[in-house]
Each structure stands twice: as C-alpha cells, then as structure tokens.
Amino acid sequence: MRFQEVIGQEGIKRDLLETVALNRVAHAYLFTGPEGSGKLPLALAYAQYLNCEHPTETDSCGECPSCKAFAKLQHPDLHFVFPIVKDKASDKICCDDYLEQWRELFEQNPYLSLEAWQTHIGVENKQPMIYESEAAGDDTAPRIKGVIQKLSLSNFSAKYKVLIIWMAEKMNDVCANKILKILEEPNPNTLFLMIAEDTRYMLPTILSRTQIVRIPKIDDASLSQRISSDFMMEGDELQSLVKNANGNYCQAFKMASFGDKPSQYFEYFKRMMRSAWQKDIMDLTALGEELESLGRERQKAFLQYCLREIRENFIRNQNIPEILYMDNQENAFSSKFCPFINERNVADFTKEFNAAHYHIVRNGNPKIIFFDMFLKIIVYLKR
C-alpha cells in the first residue's frame, strides 16, 4: 500500500512523512477514527514507506522487493493481529489460521470494516475478539506463536519489524495487559501500529504509551473522485452516493458494489412513511416482504439510509439548511414530511432504526423485525 493509494487524508500523510524526515518515528502508534476513513491503509502505507529501499520524499517506490512484499501483506517482518472467532471444528484458533482470508478481503477492498470481516469468515451472528494466545502463544498448541515470540526474533530483511493490531479495542483484558508489557519494553527496530474505532474500550495505559493519530472522515471531494474512478459513476447518482456514504469508503464501496442506488432506498422510505401515516397495514405487510427479499446486507444499508433521512428531516425542521445533505427528490419530499420529525419523536425513530439494524445483524427474522418497526412508526408519526 502506497500513500498515493490512500483516499484523501493529505494532512495525515504529511504528518507521517514528517516523522521520517525529522527522524522522529515513535515505536508505537494508534490510528483512531470512524469506520471507512482509511486507518488500515494509512498504517500499511506508513509501514511500507519506512521499509522501502528507495523512498522518495512523498511515497515508497512500490517497486523494490520490500514494497512488493508489503503490498501483498506477505513480508516476513510484517505481522497481523485481528479479531477472530475460534473454530475448533476446522482447527482455526488463531489469526495466522485466518491470514489467507484476511489477505483475500484486503485485496477486494483495503478499507475493511468489522462487519465485512465477520461476513467474509461466516460469523455474522458471533462477536469476534482478540484472545490472550495472540499475545503470548498457547502452551497447549505449540504451533501458535504469539507476538511476544514473533517480535523477539531478529528482523528478516526489513529495517522495522511491524506489528499491526486491527480493531485493537477487541483485545480481551489478558491480551491487552500482555501487549502492554512489550509496549513498555519494545525490542529495537520494532514498530507497533494499532488501529481502533472506539478507544473507550482500550486500557488507558496502552493509550498513554502510543502516539495517537486521529483520522477524520474522508472529505467528499476525495471520496467522489475515487468512487468515480473505481465504479465509473458520475452526475447525480455519484453525488447522492457520496452524501449517503458520509466520508465512509466502506459504505460507499458496499453500495456501489451491490449496484444499490440511494433512490431505491428513498422510494422504500417514502412508501414506509406514507403507509404508516395512513395506517395501511396491507401495504406495510407487502413492503416488509419486499425488504425481506433484499438480503441482509441491503436490509442493513436501508436501515442506515433511514437513520440518515431522520437526521436530515429533523435538521430541516429545525431550520439549519447549512448542514443539510439532500438531493432534489429527497428535498421535495422533505418539504412536506419534515414537520413530522420533531423533538417529540426523533429519539424514538433513531432508537427504533438502530434496534432493527441490531437484530438484522444478529440474524433475526426480517419480516418480524420490519413489521414490528412499522407498527412503532405509526405511533411515532402521530406525536
């Protein structure tokens, strides 16, 4: 991964390059920010640049053996830790057992999300985590080498031996405490790159021993340029997708890959609200069956779209046009609909759509989930 492949984030790139130019590379960094902002690509681009044999002032060369190995995530001095679900039936009990799947997903889209990873390894209804054995190995399974052992070995060929911990907030307490010990006493020429979305679940002692790099959402101009290039999209369709993605390339990639158009979700949203206002149970039942046929990924995307529409209509109702993000058809509908989203019900709508999303993620029955949601919307719209 080269810096030029990372979407936007020009200020972050300059800051990272400056640490190298000034010889101020810390031994541990924490890249934190929202989903889809580019934390993992930035961390990998930084690691590749530090180990590049012929770096320029702005990027790694991309051609030397080190760069090629880093680009394929196969450099012997590059190690990964990420959340997994132990599957003893298939003998997959550590991160190394999932490395091929990890590389497959990264090749599809370097902007990984935890949800995409769960889907890729088939554990949508289970919560992956980072276990103690990833740090210290497992005495009962000698083949499992923890990062303490891996980092104690001499570097194979790179200047820096690199450990990337993706979704570091998923470390259990025992693992986190063992990682803390090697953070406090790192081996020479070892670089820790942690990636997290919610640092509230990380040990304060770990946070205090890392250089924190805060990654913002991707700016709309950069996101638009990349989506246009990757999916040959333009015009209103591109503009609407970028607005719905809200700086999250994971979301943009998912919508574009599925062929989803925000206009499709808008029609569902409009129909849902009109039928709920009219208490048209027959049409709501039919709508629930249509949504059931979409599949779980599109169902989740639709609910995320509903949350955005609630936000936009509430803001319009509050008369704050400078932070509105609507296209023409959404704007036309909102002119009459926005009074129905107000201080008395906006929290209820938000809670209900989030709850439906939660149950869809956990493999609930979509028809029951959506019908229950419709009944509550009927009540909320009257407030």
DSSP string covering 124-181, please?
Answer: TTS--BB-THHHH--TT-TT---HHHHHHSPPSS-SSEEEEEETGGGB-HHHHHHHHH
The full set of domain ranges for the chain reads 3-214, 260-381
Tokens of 169: 């907030």
Q: How many CB atoms lie within 10 A of CB 282?
A: 8
Q: Are 69 and 186 in contact (CB under 8 A)?
A: no
Q: Are 186 and 28 in contact (CB under 8 A)?
A: yes
Give CA–CA dist 29/36, Å, rounded. 19
| Chain centroid, CA 374 distance in Å | 29
Give CA–CA dist 197/324, Å, rounded. 26
Tokens of 269: 């949203």
One digit per residue, the tens of pLDDT, for the chain of length 383 reads 999 999 999 999 999 999 999 999 999 999 999 999 999 999 999 999 999 999 999 999 999 999 999 999 999 999 999 999 887 777 788 898 899 999 999 999 999 998 889 888 888 777 889 988 888 777 656 667 788 888 888 888 889 999 999 999 999 999 999 999 888 888 888 999 999 999 998 999 999 999 999 999 999 999 999 999 988 888 877 888 888 788 999 888 887 876 656 678 899 999 999 999 999 999 999 999 999 998 887 898 899 889 989 999 999 999 888 787 787 788 899 999 999 999 999 999 999 999 999 999 888 999 999 999 999 999 999 98
3-state secondary structure of 83: coil
Give CA–CA dist 350/352, Å, rounded. 5
H-helix or E-strand spanning residue 191? strand 190-196
Give CA–CA dist 5/273, Å, rounded. 41
Q: Are 109 and 250 in contact (CB under 8 A)?
A: yes
* 3-214: CATH topology: Rossmann fold (3.40.50)
pTM given for the model: 0.80
